[in-house]
Structure 1
Amino acid sequence: MPLKCRAFNCAKSNCRSAGDGSTDASRRWTSMMATVVLTLRVRAARTSRTEVRGALRVNRLSMKLYISADMEGVAGITASEQTDPNGQPEYPQSCKLMTGEVAAACQGAFAAGVSDIVVNDSHWNMRNIIHEELPPQVRLIRGSLKPLSMNQGLDPSFQAAAFIGYHAPVGVADAILDHTYSGESVYDVRINGELCSEARINAAMAGEFGVPVIFISGDQNACADAKSFLPGIEAVEVKQAMGRYSAASLSPQEARAAIKNGIERAVRGLQSEGARARPFSFKTPIRLELTFSSTARADVASLLPGSERPQARTISFAHEDYTTVFKAFRALLVLGGSIS
């Protein structure tokens, strides 16, 4: 039968491409095959890059989130009796309200692709959250005393932190149950001259581990406070405070929906291209000034080695290391709170 042309698949027996491959057509055949091989290699490379990009997307979604949860900033909470575990009839309902908001935050984070969540119960005796009402994969840090208090469990393995149910710092008007760590013994807390909320103090502790705070919920002044030092934070206002003991609050259902959606936005924003969430920190040297509600409390707190007493009710402590400053702050609170 006639020998087919290898280059053009023709059946001409007299085609010059037939024979031993030394003809021009054979050279064209070789060139064409080289082009085909090159094309296949390019396609393979593109496929490989697509697979890598897909893997990177999965890695960005595989993140670990830390949640510190307080109670005063939860929707529906307006009175200290609601937050007091010592025999107050409204307290069990407040635990359910707090748990509902934490659960909503976890649901939103998981929906955004978070793979691991640790929640630190950070109110009063730190035994408030009902664990069985959280998503089953959530780990809960419960009980006190904790060395890092509201920040217990933080470490560099977390990609982000969120604050649920937080409140404004002591001394702020139109803020539900405003205080900073102690509503009874602390009159004022400043670091490097800046009025400090629990959010600011705790964000700096997260910053020590390289963890940015990306979300907060609470009343309007808790949110405003966080925005003042954490640009770009997702803040969800669940109530409008009118004084210290009254507020116009969202319903629990609406507050939870807002928190779920807000934290989902925050997580997705962190994962997006060009996200620039940065850990918060104070400039060094770091100077803490803690003013107590009485001189008697300052008398006892002044026993802390390395502390100074610039004013009758104020104890100061300075150091280059923020963790050391935070631990000194905790020690001063315990000393000052030991006497009325």
Structure 2
Amino acid sequence: MKIFISCDIEGISGVVTSGAHTSSDGMDYERARSLMTGEANAAIEGAFNAGATEVVVNDSHGPMTNLLIEKLNPAATLITGSPKPLSMMQGIGEDCAAAIFVGYHARMGAPGVLSHTISGARVANVWVNDIIVGETGINAALAGYFGVPVVLVCGDDIVSREAKELLPHVRTAAVKTAITRQSALCLPPERAQALIRQETEQALASLDSARPWLPGSPVTFKIEFKDSGLAENAARMPYSKLVDAKTVAFSADNYLTAFQGLQAMIALAC
């Protein structure tokens, strides 16, 4: 049983401040990436306890070189660095039995810790087939394209609620409770990791009841950018169209192609 883990940083317990915790030049970045590695290890251990024979972890934050490989559970393998064709989901495939998201955060505009969607500087909102989604939804659908269910989402209480609204079967591990966008009531690392380990074991024990989530075809992504200039730049993407001054849409026959269009439009927007 092969398990795929996508690990971001903003949803890690103890991580609450943009820059200081999330950027490589931040004052507390080294501590944050150590906490991130600890929560990834908890999911890895839980997966092996539940019968996994292989665990692949994809570093999914920023430059995607955050996880400390020297401290990672040696039974797992790590995908690190960027760019990657599938970005936060590099390593997902039909050979995976389940996907787990660690350190995830709520979508832009939600009252979660460090909430954003892909690019906090550019993106205001994203819809897939008129369903508003954050990174949890975008990436769950990419897993669904390969027939893989997301069985566990770990992060704050807001992303936990967001995940359950979209994926009724999913389990969640809320390792912190948002107070404001840059403050939270956090579980200490030992308790956060124990919770993730336990929820991983339980999620994989009930794998038979999990179902992949995939929007119907054709797939249309709409991106509302933060200003009209960003949208104008994104609209240089072939076959995209401006919906209004700040919103660009792109449609494709399948989710993978639509996802690639989403990524290209956001890259062009800068």
Short-chain TM bin: over 0.9
SS in 2 for 1:129: coil
Contact kept, 8 Å, 2:10 with 2:22, in 1: the verdict is no
Q: 1:329 aligns with which of 248, 253, 262?
A: 262
Report the CA distance between 1:85 and its aligned residue. 2.8
Q: 2:79 aligns with which of 131, 137, 141?
A: 141
Q: Which has the higher strand share?
A: 2
Separation (CA, whole Å) in 1 of partners of 2:209 and 2:116: 31
Deviations 1:135-160 (A, max 9, x none): 21211000000111001111111000
Q: 2:12 aligns with which of 74, 83, 89?
A: 74
Aligned residue number for residue 18 of structure 1? none
For 1:93-172, list aligned pairs within 5 A.
Answer: 93-172=31-110
Deviations 1:191-228 (A, max 9, x none): 11111110100010011111111011001110011111
For 1:197-212, list aligned pairs within 5 A.
Answer: 197-212=134-149
Structure 1, unmatched stretches of 5+, are: 1-62
Separation (CA, whole Å) in 1 of partners of 2:20 and 2:5: 22
Q: 1:292 aligns with which of 225, 231, 234?
A: 225
Separation (CA, whole Å) in 2 of partners of 1:259 and 1:330: 30
Separation (CA, whole Å) in 2 of partners of 1:281 and 1:215: 17
Separation (CA, whole Å) in 2 of partners of 1:84 and 1:236: 21
Separation (CA, whole Å) in 1 of partners of 2:168 and 2:231: 35
Q: Could you tell me which amino acid in structure 2 is paired with residue 138 of structure 1?
A: A
For 1:180-259, list aligned pairs within 5 A.
Answer: 180-259=117-196
Give the 4+ runs in structure 1 shifted more than 4 A: none
Separation (CA, whole Å) in 2 of partners of 1:245 and 1:105: 25
Report the CA distance between 1:123 and its aligned residue. 0.3
Separation (CA, whole Å) in 1 of partners of 2:133 and 2:166: 10
Identity percentage of aligned residues = 40
Separation (CA, whole Å) in 1 of partners of 2:24 and 2:224: 27
Higher RCO (CA 8 Å, separation ≥ 6 residues): 2
Deviations 1:289-318 (A, max 9, x none): 101111111111111110010100110011
Aligned residue number for residue 238 of structure 2? 305
Q: Could you tell me which amino acid in structure 1 is paired with residue 190 of structure 2?
A: Q
Report the CA distance between 1:82 and its aligned residue. 3.3
Separation (CA, whole Å) in 1 of partners of 2:102 and 2:20: 17
RMSD: 0.9
Aligned residue number for residue 198 of structure 2? 261
Report the CA distance between 1:284 and its aligned residue. 2.0
Aligned residue number for residue 316 of structure 1? 249
Contact kept, 8 Å, 2:7 with 2:61, in 1: the verdict is yes
Provide the TM-score with structure 2 as the length reference. 0.98
SS in 2 for 1:80: coil
Provide the TM-score with structure 1 as the length reference. 0.78
